[in-house]
Amino acid sequence: MQLGDSRTGKLADNITAFGRALRRAGVPVDSARIALAGQAAQLVDLSRKDDLGAALEAVLVSREQDRGVFRELFDAFFRDPAVANKLLAQMLPSAEGKAEPSKRRPRVSEALAPQKGFGAQPPRAAEDEVRFDAAMTASDLQRLRHADFGALGGGEYRLVERLAREVALPVPRIAMRRTRPGARGARLHWPGVMRHAAHTGGELLQLRRLQRRKQPLPLLLLVDVSGSMERYARLLLAFLHAATRGGVGRRGRRDVFAFGTRLTDLTPAFRLADTDEMLAAAGAAIDDYAGGTRLGESLAQLRERHARRLVGRRTLVLVISDGLDTGEPAALERELAWLRLHSRRLLWLNPLLRYDRYTPSAQGAAVLHRQAHGMLAVHNIARLEQLAASIAAVMDT
């Protein structure tokens, strides 16, 4: 593969275009990394595609979950005749081979597709220049941040889903029984005190202490995937997967269930690093998607089969639902009361709070409102960005 003569500047232009495509695919790539990629490309044999790919991957990928996206996008970017040829026409004399769209991740396909952009003009004729960077204006981004998930068009939905994956949700941390040496604490760390005294001739110049370790609260997520939540479920699952990955990580615990007419354990799917792969696995696992809602029966299954997922009374439970339950209210009341008793906080994340005059008048919503410690809105990006602070406020009550 020939990528052209770097002395003409074409190599740098194409690496810049590739970096922008990575950014559209959700891989965090800034201008400094793109510049570093240009330097790395000049240190390898450009006639060897594998060498070039390894050099770019070394400087452009910083997260393990982005490695697969990079490789698929790199392969497609330098082989797809419909798109890559237009970018590489000046330096790639004969681009052969066809793309393999059927097995690509959605992020890769969207990144390679001609960008329409929010508020951009309709695509022009095929012979026109292919645009690879459809940067949203500040007003577009601001409007998307406050747009209701249920009112988004197809293109907007994909953009918002991508934005949602960048929102963090730090899980509240609590002090554990186990301790470790530190500067603060009620108890002295005598081994540390004596070791320090041995270096100062027996003088106790520094008193080491034992402080309690802190770790994130165990998290239990219950996501409504019924028909009325169809527009929210996929986007919120993508958000929760990406948002809790860093906050929970290896030290915390995260259990995820979907509920409609029955309970589905999504915890194995959430262990996948890539969000697209998680969504595919979750879609394969859920067989009652866009159906009815029987939260009471689903919670009964949780109590009977998965009670050990609740770690004492430390578990933070987030129920994501619009509360339009079609089951028996008495059963829902009973199961929610049990769940509240066995958790540290039971929070209801309700997308219907987008309405200013919303009141939980439906039977299921009334029960949820009565049993939950708090009700929070999750109907747009702005609300997701405020979610961590809202949860912290409820935890302090």
Mark whether 183 and 236 lie in a shared domain. no
Position 383 scores a pLDDT of 93
Last residue of one domain, picked from the residues 87, 118, 140: 87
Rounded Cα–Cα distance for residues 169 and 242 (Å): 9
8-state DSSP, 355: S
Residues 200 and 224 in one domain: no
Q: How much is the pLDDT for 337?
A: 95
- CATH number, position 324: 3.40.50.410
Written as six digits, the tokens of 99 are 């793309």
> Looking at the structure, do residues 292 and 388 belong to the same domain, yes or no?
yes
Q: Is the residue at 56 inside a domain?
A: yes
pLDDT at residue 135, as a whole number: 53
Q: What is the pLDDT of residue 113?
A: 59
> For residue range 365-383, what is the model confidence (pLDDT) as tens digits?
999 999 999 999 999 999 9
What is the total count of domains within the chain?
A: 3
Domain boundary among 36, 67, 87: 87
Instruction: Express the helix, strand and coil content of the chain in percent, nearest 5 each.
Output: 50, 15, 40
Q: For residue range 319-358, what is the model confidence (pLDDT) as tens digits?
A: 999 999 988 999 999 999 999 999 999 999 999 998 888 9
According to the model, what pLDDT value does residue 116 have? 46
Q: What is the pTM of this model?
A: 0.66
- Specify whether 198 is located in the same domain as 224: no
Is residue 148 included in any domain, yes or no? no
Residue 165 lies in a domain: no
Residues in the chain where the model's pLDDT stays below 70: 1-10, 80-137, 246-251
* Same domain, residue pair 193 and 45: no
Domain that includes residue 26, residue range: 10-87
Q: What is the pLDDT of residue 354?
A: 87
Residues 208 and 354 in one domain: no
* Cβ atoms of residues 318 and 220 within 8 Å: yes
pLDDT, tens digit, for every residue of 162-213?
889 889 888 888 887 788 888 888 888 888 888 888 888 888 787 888 888 8
User: How many angstroms separate the CA atoms of 120 and 43, rounded?
Assistant: 38
| Percent of the chain whose pLDDT exceeds 90 | 32
Q: Is 304 among the domain residues?
A: yes
Q: Are residues 250 and 201 in the same domain?
A: no
| Residue 104 in domain | no
Is residue 166 included in any domain, yes or no?
A: no
Rounded to whole angstroms, the Cα distance separating 314 from 55 reads: 46
Q: Are residues 189 and 244 in the same domain?
A: no
* Crossing angle for the helix pair 49-60 and 31-41, to the nearest 10 degrees: 150
194 and 271: one domain? no
- Whether residues 204 and 222 share a domain: the answer is no
DSSP type of residue 351: G
306, 288: one domain: yes
